[in-house]
């Protein structure tokens, strides 16, 4: 039986709309099935399937009634037999019945594909692949650091968006500006942090990390290599007082005292990066009592009270780089040497590697060549026999240095450790010392402590052949790997190591 449709359907616009919708629908089904069976694909594949093709399906379907309306009005002006203002549907007429059946079947198919596409599109726009690879040049630093972080198996949206429709909508609306900045190339380099209007960490981080979860002391080992001819390996074993040492005490002591449910810490900062904190307020929620600590050397001037940020402390005030960590050359070369990707066979390799990575480069490609040339020339000139005898090992060491560099420094986006300081610890930035500097004092004379053993205890330290070990309950006094006298007691680590000389 020949299928006949209403007379108004037979026009070039409706034909084109039908053809576009049918072709796009088959493309959607084919590509979706292909991606399902292959279990892979790129970010662009997802964009085409769930974002681009549905636009063509909808556009094609819209063109069909548009063409019919144009045809109807054209015929009416020409004085043809179309005198009714609105079409009449009579299922006893074969043309009407066929059109109704096609429209109903098409609507059901369209709604089904729309529901499936919307569902998949929602999940795709929340995926790590979409967040990390769609805007290649911009997101390379964040995506690379994320893949080498402790949260590499946690999706971006779980931290940056969280659960619920409200924040999903807010994130997408915010993303419109980012899309514009990407297209117009108006984005800053590096991307500024901290991110403004970020969802409170207690609504995201605490989906996995909750305050009621307590910890005892946790061991941490730091491995350093000294910039001497022997590349001396220096180890520090530390017990971190994460939960005060006894899980039964909860958050009553230790580092996580800051998230004690009965305590609220508020602070005032005078800079965008929250590095300068002249005033801290501790509030005991059960009683309402509060204590204000002010930096006695840099008090908050009355004239700038209106220009400061008032903030309630949460997880990311300390854990500000949980997934996007950019280490300084001394740190990432230490890791590469400890893993064996940078050989300690070569004298002064720690110093040479750090010097090579500290140089200014415009691109990652230029950095790779510059590092290779610097290291190769140094050993060819100063240790020619060693370089010749260990040529393969030297090339592997150069590759190891280049790989470590590429995970932490990104010349194209002007990203390095100084641009994104890590507030955990106090080695390369003020970190804990923003408040725990011994200078924040209350009116009653109480001081925010800066004692080392408030946060950690050193149980072992030193070179492999001359390690020092603490007794069962005592902590070792810190011993600087290089003899600088008592300077380390009066100077913050970050004051020397923010721009690592080694």
Q: List pLDDT tens digits, range 276-298.
A: 999 999 999 999 999 999 998 88
Asked if the structure places residue 2 within a domain, the reply is no
351 CB-near residues (< 8 Å, 6+ apart): 227, 228, 502
Q: Is residue 60 predicted with pLDDT exceeding 60? A: yes
232 and 364 together in one domain: no
14 and 116 together in one domain: yes
DSSP reduced 3-state for 392: helix
Mean predicted confidence (pLDDT) in 411-434: 91
Asked if the structure places residue 205 within a domain, the reply is no
315 and 447 together in one domain: yes
Q: Is residue 338 predicted with pLDDT exceeding 60? A: yes
131 CB-near residues (< 8 Å, 6+ apart): 139, 143, 156, 157, 160
191 and 235 together in one domain: no
Q: Is residue 501 predicted with pLDDT exceeding 80? A: no
438 and 310 together in one domain: yes
Q: Give, rounded to a whole angstrom, the gap between the first and last alpha carbons of the chain.
A: 85
375 and 271 together in one domain: no
34 and 21 together in one domain: yes
The domain tally of the chain equals 4
Asked if the structure places residue 290 within a domain, the reply is yes
Listed residues 152, 169, 198: the one ending a domain: 198
Per-residue confidence (pLDDT) for residue 385, from 0 to 100: 95
Tell me the pLDDT tens digit for each residue of 111-138: 776 676 666 666 677 778 778 777 667 8
As a whole number of angstroms, the distance between CA 452 and CA 429 comes to 16
Which run of H or E residues covers position 37? helix 12-38
pTM of the predicted structure, to 2 decimals:
0.78
Tell me the pLDDT tens digit for each residue of 33-57: 777 776 555 555 666 776 778 788 8
Listed residues 381, 413, 445: the one ending a domain: 413
Asked if the structure places residue 120 within a domain, the reply is yes
As a whole number of angstroms, the distance between CA 230 and CA 174 comes to 52
As a whole number of angstroms, the distance between CA 494 and CA 502 comes to 13
Asked if the structure places residue 151 within a domain, the reply is yes
Listed residues 104, 125, 146: the one ending a domain: 125
230 and 313 together in one domain: yes
Asked if the structure places residue 52 within a domain, the reply is yes
89 CB-near residues (< 8 Å, 6+ apart): 96, 100
Q: Is residue 455 predicted with pLDDT exceeding 80? A: yes
Q: Is residue 76 predicted with pLDDT exceeding 90? A: no
DSSP reduced 3-state for 144: helix
161 and 70 together in one domain: no
| Burial bucket for residue 254 (CB in 10 Å: 0-12, 13-18, 19+) | buried
Among 326, 324, 307, CA closest to 316 = 324
Q: Which domain holds residue 293?
A: 218-322+421-497
DSSP reduced 3-state for 253: coil
Asked if the structure places residue 213 within a domain, the reply is no
Phi then psi dihedrals of residue 412, to 5 deg: -60, -40
Q: Distance between alpha carbon 145 and the CA centroid of its chain, in Å?
A: 7
248 and 278 together in one domain: yes
248 and 368 together in one domain: no
pLDDT band at residue 199 under the 50/70/90 scheme: confident
222 and 334 together in one domain: no
Stretch among 64-68, 248-252, 355-359, 408-412 having the lowest mean pLDDT? 248-252
Per-residue confidence (pLDDT) for residue 85, from 0 to 100: 55
């Amino acid at each position: 039986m020949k299928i006949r449709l209403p007379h108004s359907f037979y026009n070039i616009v409706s034909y084109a709309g039908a053809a576009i919708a049918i072709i796009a629908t088959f493309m959607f089904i084919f590509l979706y099935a292909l991606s399902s069976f292959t279990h892979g694909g790129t970010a662009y594949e997802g964009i085409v399937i769930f974002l681009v093709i549905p636009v063509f399906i909808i556009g094609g379907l819209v063109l069909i009634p548009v063409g019919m309306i144009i045809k109807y009005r054209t015929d009416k002006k020409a004085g043809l037999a179309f005198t009714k203002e609105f079409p009449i549907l009579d299922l006893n007429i074969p043309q009407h019945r066929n059109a109704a059946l096609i429209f109903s079947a098409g609507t059901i198919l369209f709604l089904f594909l729309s529901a499936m596409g919307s569902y998949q599109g929602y999940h795709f726009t929340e995926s790590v692949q979409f967040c990390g690879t769609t805007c290649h040049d911009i997101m390379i630093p964040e995506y690379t650091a994320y893949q080498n972080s402790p949260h590499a198996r946690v999706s971006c949206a779980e931290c940056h968006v969280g659960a619920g429709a409200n924040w999903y909508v807010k994130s997408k609306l915010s993303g419109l500006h980012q899309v514009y900045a990407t297209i117009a190339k108006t984005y800053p380099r590096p991307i500024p942090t901290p991110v403004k209007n970020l969802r409170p960490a207690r609504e995201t981080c605490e989906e996995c990390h909750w305050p009621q979860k307590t910890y005892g002391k946790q061991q941490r080992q730091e491995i350093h290599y000294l910039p001497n001819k022997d590349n001396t390996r220096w180890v520090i074993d530390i017990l971190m007082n994460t939960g005060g040492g006894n899980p039964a005490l909860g958050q009553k002591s230790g580092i996580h005292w800051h998230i004690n449910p009965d305590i609220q810490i508020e602070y005032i900062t005078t800079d965008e990066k929250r590095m300068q904190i002249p005033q801290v307020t501790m509030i005991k929620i059960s009683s309402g009592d509060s204590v204000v600590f002010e930096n006695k050397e840099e008090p908050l001037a009355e004239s700038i009270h209106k220009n400061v940020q008032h903030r309630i402390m949460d997880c990311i005030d300390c854990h500000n780089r949980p997934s996007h960590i950019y280490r300084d050359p001394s740190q990432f070369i230490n890791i590469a040497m400890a893993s064996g990707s940078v050989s300690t066979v070569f004298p002064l390799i720690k110093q040479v590697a750090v010097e090579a990575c500290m140089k200014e480069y415009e691109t990652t490609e230029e950095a790779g060549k510059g590092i290779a040339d610097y290291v190769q020339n140094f050993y060819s000139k100063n240790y020619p026999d060693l370089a010749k005898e260990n040529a393969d090992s030297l090339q592997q060491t150069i590759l190891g240095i280049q790989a470590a560099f590429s995970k932490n420094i990104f010349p194209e986006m002007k990203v390095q450790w100084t641009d994104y300081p890590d507030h955990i610890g106090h080695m390369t930035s003020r970190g804990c010392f923003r408040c725990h500097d011994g200078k924040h004092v209350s009116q009653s004379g109480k001081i925010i402590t800066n004692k080392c053993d408030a946060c950690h205890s050193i149980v072992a330290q030193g070179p492999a052949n001359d390690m020092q070990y603490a007794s069962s309950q005592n902590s070792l006094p810190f011993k600087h790997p290089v003899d600088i006298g008592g300077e380390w007691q009066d100077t913050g680590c970050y004051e020397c190591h923010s721009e690592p000389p080694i």
